[in-house]
Amino acid sequence: MPTAMITGASRGVGAAVARALAPTHTLFLAGRPSPDLDAIAAEFGATTWPMDLADFDAIPTVVEPIDQLDVLVHNAGVAYPGRVAESTVDEWRSTMAVNVVGPVALTLALLPALRAARGHVVFVNSGSGINVSPGLASYASSKFALRAFADSLRNDESSLRVTSVHPGRIATEMQEELVAYEEREYDPSQFLSPETVAQVIADAVHAPPDAHIREVVVRPR
């Protein structure tokens, strides 16, 4: 079977993507070691790849055994709710490290394996990567940067398919924190489910080989 690495696979969208791709792909689940990640791996007989995206120097060694990779799904991310004046330099540094520089480092380390497979790189971006959302200054900035990296990768690596997925708000723990910041009541029915977003990603991955789905925008109905 083809192979797929998913970052941030322990819960939320990452776990849902693992479930959506498990019937058709051998899964490599990347993330910080945790019982949740181990449980998802056990569910599908997948391999875990312990990884901290903020530890850029360690990433090449972690993925060195991979010589061919069909799909790389960049899903891991962090968000610190706050407007510009409320934010801190440490929050900006952490956001850019995990949401931008980490994915860049992982992509560069896996580029030979992706080229060998004429693979597909999927970036789970955000609506905030198209239009800036109030109260998400550092997060939106990181998602704009991630979108630019995806566009650059697509331009520079013609053998790869590169897809940016821009979901609206998703019913996840991150969303609960944002709603709490907004001082509103959290109602998951108002948001996209992780499973819906995962299905959109799986559809892009399973597109016929002559199709290159470059960008997907999905919003709650």
Tens digits of residue pLDDT in 11-28: 899 999 999 999 999 999
Catalytic residues, by residue number, are: 139
Please give the full DSSP string across 153-171, using - where no structure is assigned: HHHH-TTSEEEEEEE--BS
Contact, 119 vs 161, CB < 8 A? yes
- Does 78 fall in a domain? yes
* pLDDT above 90: residue 50: yes
Span 54-65, average pLDDT: 96
- Does 145 fall in a domain? yes
Give the domain CATH number at 133.
Answer: 3.40.50.720
Distance of CA 175 to the CA centre of its chain: 15
In whole angstroms, give the CA distance from residue 125 to residue 111: 20
Residue of 108, 145, 112 lying closest to 130 (CA atoms): 145
- Does 10 fall in a domain? yes
- Does 85 fall in a domain? yes
What is the span of the domain harbouring residue 105? 3-168+195-207
In whole angstroms, give the CA distance from residue 167 to residue 36: 24
- Does 183 fall in a domain? no
- Does 37 fall in a domain? yes
- Does 149 fall in a domain? yes
Residue of 134, 131, 123, 140 lying closest to 216 (CA atoms): 123
pLDDT at 183 (0 to 100):
67
Output phi, psi for 165, to 5 deg: -110, 125
**pLDDT mean across residues, the chain:** 93
Helix, strand, coil percentages, rounded to 5, for the chain = 50, 20, 35
- Does 186 fall in a domain? no
Number of separate domains in the chain: 1
